[in-house]
Amino acid sequence: MENEKKLNLMKFWLFGTFVIIFSAVSIYVGGVLGTGLAIFSTWQFWLTVVIAVVLSVLWFYIYKAYLNR
Residues of the chain with pLDDT > 90, as a percent, come to 61
Q: pLDDT tens, 14-61? A: 999 999 989 988 898 888 888 888 888 889 889 989 999 999 999 999
Q: Could you tell me the pTM of the whole model?
A: 0.80
Q: How far apart are CA 12 and CA 5, in angstroms?
A: 11
Q: Are 10 and 56 in contact (CB under 8 A)?
A: no
Could you tell me if 6 and 65 are in contact, meaning their C-beta atoms sit under 8 angstroms apart?
no
As a whole number of angstroms, the longest Cα–Cα distance in the chain is 49
Q: Tens of pLDDT along 1-21?
A: 798 999 999 999 999 999 998
Closest by Cα among 30, 28, 51 to 39: 30
